[in-house]
Structure 1
Amino acid sequence: MSDAQHILVVDDDDRIRTLLKKYLTRSGYRVTASASAGGARKLMTTFDFDLAVLDIMMPGESGLDFLSSLRQAGKRVPILLLTARGETSDRIEGLKRGADDYLAKPFEPEELLLRLEAILRRTHVEPPPEEVEMSGLVFNAKRGELTSGARRVRLTEAELQLLSMLASKAGEPVSREELASKSPNSTERSIDVQVTRLRRKIEPDPRQPVHIQTVRGIGYRLMPD
């Protein structure tokens, strides 16, 4: 359970807090609950949450005001709002203030789970691997080093930037346009030249590349071992 995503449930209704804690825990999540915005704010100083389920209608600080304070403080935790059925204005206002989705009460726990999972799929980004292995070579993006055993393979600054960009999206196509836009003084044509040079340093057979692959009509894709 230590690797389970952590959900914060904020609702002054004891029944809803208990229901969601049991249901989401059974669904594989770690769940912490609070009856108020103030309590939730304190929890956020201690824990990092992957998503918060936030009721709008709470005594004291409302869910909308709490949402606004989070966004103004730069906290990007995804928010699923719980609203009163028929309160269209609350839903619109919540989305304007930075909510990711909303669900009207009363609701089916299964629908809440599906909406929660959809938000997490959209917002959760896996950090790129620190090291990428390619036919006996190891590229460490953090250190900016390409090594073969104890030997360091020399890369030009342009080659290093290109390899770093491809490694950050390993397995995914990256367009020539994007590669050129993020590399100073580069053009799409110069990217092709840099790729050719990189292949000579990385590929077992540069004429038949297996690691820096051409994606027809798009650009290139880095495929590690």
Structure 2
Amino acid sequence: MTTAAAAETAHLLVVDDDARLRSLLQRYLTEQGFRVTSAPDAAAARRALSSMTYDLLVLDVMMPGESGLDLTESLRTEGNEVPIVMLTARGAPEDRISGFEHGVDDYLAKPFDPRELALRIRTILRRAAPSATPQPLAAAPVQLGARWFDIERAELRGPDGVVRLTGGEAALLQALARRAGDVLSREDIGEALGTPEAGERAIDVQVTRLRRKVEVDPREPRFIQTIRHRGYVLRPGP
């Protein structure tokens, strides 16, 4: 199956307490070729997640009971790295930053065009799926201390096995690793992640989260270094 075909047959879980919006999204995304299950709140989403594996969550921030941000943080703490697109009526930069801090992969402010949501979902799924195209000149894995990052598979391995990365973290490390030694501006990184509108602070948050999984001491990073006034550079090494 091609990467594009895999994206089209992905199983999505849409979680929103707005019954009308939930119904519209379920119908539209189904028409776009996805399998779609819906849930009205975090409790129902947890029940769905306990009995089924989903390829991506579309998750509202403000819901009665447990919020979308709290659910995301809980899933990440439990080691569940399912890609998450967050929906919210709050579109300010600090709200996007909060979403990234909690571990979401992308962020879409209401009201939104459902075509844009479908596009973002496909982008994340393609980013997460292994490529079906042979890579005769595949890049060599990048050493990051005791860990190795496979650029083509976007997979980080250490002495204890695979290190869990969110889709956003994997894409960020992949972008840095493809140009190891080069300084990437925050704008370059935003373009590589498919979120050019994310803003500098949101990129900084993503880098901070990634450092926690790559660096021995995230406060004194050896591998993902900040170049003042310019951006970030990945410096591989033992």
TM-score tier after normalising by the smaller chain length: 0.5 to 0.7
Q: Structure 2 regions of 5+ residues with no counterpart?
A: 144-238
Match of 1:39 in 2: 44
Structure 2 residue 77 is matched with structure 1 residue 72: yes
Structure 2 match to 1:61:
66
The alignment partner of 1:49 has SS state of: coil
- Equivalent of residue 10 in structure 1, options 15, 18, 22: 15
Question: Following the alignment from structure 2 to structure 1, what is the Cα–Cα distance between the partners of residues 115 and 12?
Answer: 15
1:51·1:77 contact (CA, 8 Å) conserved in 2? Answer: yes
**Structure whose alpha-carbon radius of gyration is higher:** 1
Partner SS, residue 99 of structure 1: coil
What is the DSSP-based 3-state SS (H/G/I as helix, E as strand, rest coil) of the residue aligned with 1:93? helix
- Structure 2 equivalent of residue 133 of structure 1: none
Quote the offset at 1:58 in angstroms: 0.6
- Structure 1 residue 25: Cα displacement: 0.4
Letter of the aligned partner of 1:172 in structure 2? P
2:104 corresponds, among 75, 99, 120, to 99
For 2:39 and 2:125, the matched residues in 1 are separated by 21
**Residue 113 of structure 1 pairs with residue 118 of structure 2:** yes
What's the offset of the Cα at 1:96?
Answer: 1.2
TM-score by length of 1: 0.56
Mean Cα deviation higher: 86-95 or 99-108:
86-95
Deviation at 1:82, TM superposition (A): 0.3
In 2: Cα distance, 1:113 partner to 1:58 partner: 22
Amino acid at match of 2:17: D
Q: Which amino acid aligns with 2:136?
A: E
Q: Post-superposition shift, 1:170? A: 4.6
The answer for the alignment partner of 2:149 in structure 1 is none
Distance 1:173 1:110, change over 3 A: same
Contact 2:91/2:110 (<8 A) preserved: no
Structure scoring higher RCO (CA < 8 A, sep ≥ 6) equals 2
**Within 5 Å, which residues of 2 pair with 1:41-190?**
41-125=46-130, 170-175=134-139, 178=141
Aligned residues: 138
- CA distance in structure 1 between the aligned counterparts of 2:94 and 2:63, rounded to whole angstroms: 16
Q: Which string of whole-angstrom CA distances, capped at 9 and with x for unpartnered residues, describes residues 153-196 of structure 1?
A: xxxxxxxxxxxxxxxx9533134x549x7xxxxxxxxxxxxxxx
Matched residues in 1 for 2:62 and 2:20: separation?
A: 15
Which secondary structure does the structure 1 equivalent of 2:103 belong to? Answer: coil
Q: Distance in 1 between matches of 2:93 and 2:20?
A: 24
Aligned CA RMSD, in angstroms, stands at 2.4
Question: TM-score normalised to the size of structure 2?
Answer: 0.53
CA contact (8 A) 1:85 1:106 kept: no
